[in-house]
Amino acid sequence: MTAPAGGRRAPGFTLVEILVVLAILGTLIGLIAALIPKAMVAKQKTRANHLINQIGAALTLLKNDPDQLGRYPLSRLRDLKIGKTMVGKEVGQQNDINVGIECIYFVLNNPDIQVQQITSDPELIGNADKDQYRSARGSASDTEAREYLDPWGQPLAYFHSNDYKEPKGLTDLVTPDGRKISVKPKRMKASAGGGFKNKNSFQLFSVGPNGEQDPDEAEDCDDIEFEAP
């Protein structure tokens, strides 16, 4: 093949140049593919943190307002008293699954409690264990015992400080797909004294993306917690 006049190369890319461009594109695509899952997890963590902070702030307002509850809600619905009414005795407690967060959902969606709606996102509300109350109360016209879920479909964990030492009946969570999660009240690391966190208030947390509660001594934690005052 005759070279172009003047010794100049014909317009176009050589095979080597094309391979270099493809290699660069492949590297960029690989980097983007690796970043997308991390970005999705970060987004879900932000959603979970927002939900938990909204709930925690509402519970703090209830505790500080004697015309509402004047205290933090207890862990078990069967013990719940609103005003002078033992609501818990009326509606019952059907099982020992998702107990703490079911009580919190009931309180924050009860017409006798004046708080701003926490969320209307259907992905963050469910009845994962399919239990029901004896009678319909709260904002729903049915008897569904709903709870708040994190963005991974896992019920949040809630413990009132009264139950830290004896959390029997509060340690089982069940997801909508039937997966069981065991939780317990969190303690500070041994180097910080090892006592219960938020010892005079409550613990509210998500077990995070890995679906398991982190050990108290874990260095790299993905649980998402509300830091109660």
Q: Write out pLDDT tens, residues 74-131.
A: 999 888 888 887 887 788 777 899 999 999 999 999 888 888 889 989 999 999 999 9
Question: pLDDT class for 1, splitting at 50, 70, 90?
Answer: very low
Position with higher pLDDT, 142 vs 129? 129
Q: What angle do CA 97, 102, 107 make, to 5 degrees?
A: 155
Q: What is the model's pLDDT at position 5?
A: 54
Q: What is the model's pLDDT at position 17?
A: 80
Q: Is it the case that residue 138 has pLDDT exceeding 60?
A: no
Question: pLDDT class for 36, splitting at 50, 70, 90?
Answer: low
Position with higher pLDDT, 39 vs 56? 56
Domain boundaries, the chain: 15-225
Least-confidence region, from 15-19, 49-53, 146-150, 211-215:
15-19
Position with higher pLDDT, 140 vs 192? 192
d(CA 147, CA 164): 20
Q: Is 75 exposed, middle or buried (CB count within 10 Å of its CB: 0-12, 13-18, 19+)? A: buried
Task: List strand residue ranges (DSSP E) for 59-192, in order.
Answer: 125-126, 147-148, 157-160, 172-174, 180-182
Q: What is the model's pLDDT at position 219?
A: 83
Determine which helix (DSSP H) or strand (DSSP E) holds 203, and give its type and residue range.
strand 202-206
Question: pLDDT class for 59, splitting at 50, 70, 90?
Answer: very high
Q: What is the model's pLDDT at position 10?
A: 59
Q: What is the pTM of this model?
A: 0.83
Q: Is 191 exposed, middle or buried (CB count within 10 Å of its CB: 0-12, 13-18, 19+)? A: exposed
Position with higher pLDDT, 115 vs 196? 196
Question: pLDDT class for 6, splitting at 50, 70, 90?
Answer: low
d(CA 3, CA 35): 47
Q: What is the model's pLDDT at position 210?
A: 93
The rounded mean pLDDT for the chain is 87
Least-confidence region, from 35-39, 110-114, 122-126, 172-176:
35-39
Q: What is the model's pLDDT at position 81?
A: 84
